[in-house]
C-alpha cells in the first residue's frame, strides 16, 4: 500500500501571509512524496527508510532526539501515533521524494503528510484530510517556528487555495480562512530552480525581525502584498471572455510581488537573475516562490514560449 502528497507553489503572498495577509497557493502535482507501507517483524516498531537520503530509522519508543533530519521523518510518526492514541505498531515505511529539499516547494510538509497518512493506513485508521491538516501543521511548527499554515493546507487538500491565517488572542479567536477556488482561466507557469537551498525558517525569522524593528514600513509592504494577492485572485477568477488581459494583469502583479519580496530581503542575485532572464525571454511576469533566498522562481509564460 502507498500514500502520497504533492509539492506546492505559492503564487502570491508568501511571508506577508505569516503576518495575517492572504496568500494563494497551488499544488505542484508533478513532484511528489510517496510512502510505501509494508508489515514488519513483531516487536520491530516503526522503521522509516529514506533510500535516496541513505537513511534508516528504527523507532521503538518515545524519543526526544533534536536532529532536523531525524525530526523530519520521526516526528510525523510520533504525531500520528499520539493522535491515534495507540502504541508503536510494527511497520516499515519507505519514503521517496522527487521534491527538492529546502527549495520552497513544500518538501517538509509533503513528507509529513505522506508519513502520517501511512501510519493511519498501516493501523487501519486512515486520517481524513480535515484531521490530517492540523497534524501536518504541528510538524511544520517544529521545523520552522511560525508557519502560516498555507503549505500544509495546499499539500493536504491538493487543490488551489486562498488562505488567510487566523489569530488567537485573549479577546478574539479567528480561525484560518481556507477558501478553495476555481482557476477559471488556466495559465502556464514555468518553475525554475535557483540551485540554492534555503531553509524557510531562517527567512521567516528574518522577516519577522525586520517587522519588529520597523512595523510601519514593513507592515505597509505586507499590506501591499495582501492587495496584490486579492487582485490576483479576482483576475484568476474572472469570467471567460475577459481572459485576454489575464496574462498581462497577472504578470504585472507577479513582478510587483517579487519587487516587494526583494524589499523584504528574501530574494537573491540568482533569483533576480532568473526572473530577469524569464522576462527577457518573453515571460509576462516572474517572482520567487516560497521562503526565498534560494529555491524556486515561477514565471508566467504562454505555452508557445
Ligand atoms: C513558505 O512556503 C511560505 C512562507 O510564507 C512561510 C509560511 O507561510 O509559513 C514563507
Pairing type for strands 2-12 and 23-39 reads antiparallel
Instruction: State residue 299 phi and psi, 5-degree precision.
Output: -130, 140
State the distance from the centre of ligand 1 to the C-alpha of 182, rounded, in angstroms. 22
For a ligand 1 pocket test, name from 102, 204, 258, 287 the mutation site with the most ligand atoms within 8 angstroms of its C-beta. 204
- The rounded distance, in Å, linking the Cα atoms of 259 and 230 is 17
What pLDDT, on a 0 to 100 scale, did the predictor assign at position 303? 86
- Please choose from 7, 15, 142 the residue to mutate so as to test ligand 1's pocket, defined by most ligand atoms within 8 A of CB: 15
Give the three cell numbers for residue 303.
505555452
Per the structure block, which three cell numbers stand in for 33? 512524496
**Alpha carbon nearest to ligand 1 atom 10, residue:** 291
Report the distance separating Cα 199 and Cα 289, nearest Å: 13
Q: What is the reported pLDDT for 170?
A: 59
Nearest protein CA to atom 2 of ligand 1, as residue: 290
Q: Say what the pLDDT of residue 38 is.
A: 92
pLDDT score, position 181: 83
H-state helical runs in 144-199: 150-157
Label residues 108-122 b or e (16+ Cβ within 10 Å = b).
Answer: bbbbbbbbbbbbbbb
Query: What letter does residue 230 receive in the DSSP assignment?
Result: H
Question: Is the model more confident about 270 or about 143?
Answer: 270
pLDDT of residue 239: 75
**Average pLDDT of the residues in 260-275:** 98
Which ligand 1 atom minimizes the distance to the CA of 13?
Answer: 5
pLDDT, mean over the chain: 91
* Out of 40-44, 226-230, 271-275, least confident range: 40-44
Provide the pLDDT for residue 244.
Answer: 64
Residue 108 scores a pLDDT above 70:
yes
Return the residue matching grid coordinates 530581503. 265
Model confidence at 227, pLDDT cuts 50, 70, 90, reads very high
Q: Given a cut of 90, is residue 113 above it in pLDDT? A: yes
CA distance 63 to 75: 9
Pull the grid cell for residue 80: 500520528
Query: Does the pLDDT of residue 119 top 60, yes or no?
Result: yes
Q: Is the pLDDT of residue 39 over 60?
A: yes
Pairing of strands 46-50, 55-59: antiparallel
More confident residue, 233 or 181: 233
Task: Select from 76, 226, 212 the least CA-distant residue to 148.
Answer: 226
Q: What is the Å distance from ligand 1's center to 90 Cα?
A: 35
Q: Determine the residue of 141, 151, 211 to mutate for testing ligand 1's pocket, defined as the one with the most ligand atoms within 8 A of the Cβ atom.
A: 151
At 102 the pLDDT is 82
**pLDDT of 111:** 96
User: Ligand 1 — pocket residues by CB below 6 A?
Assistant: 10, 14-15, 17-18, 104, 147-148, 150-151, 200, 204, 290-291
| pLDDT for the residue 62 | 53
Predicted local distance difference test score (pLDDT) of residue 186: 86
Task: Look at residue 254 in the predicted model and tell me its pLDDT.
Answer: 98
Q: The pTM is what?
A: 0.93
pLDDT(293) > 60: yes
Whether pLDDT at 260 is above 80: yes
Amino acid at each position: 500500500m502507498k500514500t502520497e502528497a504533492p509539492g506546492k507553489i505559492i503564487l502570491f503572498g508568501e511571508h506577508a501571509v505569516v503576518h495575517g495577509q492572504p496568500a494563494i497557493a497551488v499544488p505542484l502535482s508533478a513532484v511528489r512524496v510517496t510512502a510505501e507501507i509494508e508489515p514488519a517483524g513483531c516487536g520491530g516498531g516503526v522503521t522509516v527508510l529514506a533510500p535516496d537520503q541513505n537513511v534508516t530509522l528504527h523507532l521503538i519508543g518515545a524519543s526526544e532526539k533534536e536532529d532536523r533530519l531525524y525530526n523530519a521523518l520521526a516526528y510525523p510518526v510520533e504525531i500520528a501515533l499520539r493522535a491515534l492514541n495507540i502504541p508503536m505498531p510494527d511497520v516499515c515505511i519507505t519514503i521517496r521524494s522527487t521534491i527538492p529539499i529546502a527549495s520552497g516547494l513544500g518538501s517538509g510538509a509533503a513528507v509529513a503528510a505522506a508519513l502520517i497518512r501511512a501510519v493511519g493506513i498501516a493501523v487501519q485508521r486512515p486520517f481524513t484530510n480535515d484531521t490530517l491538516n492540523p497534524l501536518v501543521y504541528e510538524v511544520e511548527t517544529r521545523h520552522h517556528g511560525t508557519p502560516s499554515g498555507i503549505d500544509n493546507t495546499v499539500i493536504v487538500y491538493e487543490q488551489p487555495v486562498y488562505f488567510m491565517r487566523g489569530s488567537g488572542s485573549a479577546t478574539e479567536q479567528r480561525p484560518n480562512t481556507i477558501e478553495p477556488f476555481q482557476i477559471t482561466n488556466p495559465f502556464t507557469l514555468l518553475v525554475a530552480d535557483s540551485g540554492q537551498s534555503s531553509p524557510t525558517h531562517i527567512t521567516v525569522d528574518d522577516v519577522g525581525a525586520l517587522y519588529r524593528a520597523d512595523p510601519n514600513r514593513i507592515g505597509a509592504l505586507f499590506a501591499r502584498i495582501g492587495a496584490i494577492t486579492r487582485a490576483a485572485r479576482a483576475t484568476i477568477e474572472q469570467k471567460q471572455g475577459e481572459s485576454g488581459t489575464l496574462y498581462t494583469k497577472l504578470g504585472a502583479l507577479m513582478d510587483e510581488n517579487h519587487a516587494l519580496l526583494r524589499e523584504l530581503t528574501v530574494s537573491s542575485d540568482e533569483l533576480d537573475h532568473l526572473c530577469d532572464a524569464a522576462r527577457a525571454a518573453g515571460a509576462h511576469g516572474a517572482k520567487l516562490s516560497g521562503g526565498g533566498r534560494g529555491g524556486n522562481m515561477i514565471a508566467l509564460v504562454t505555452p508557445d514560449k
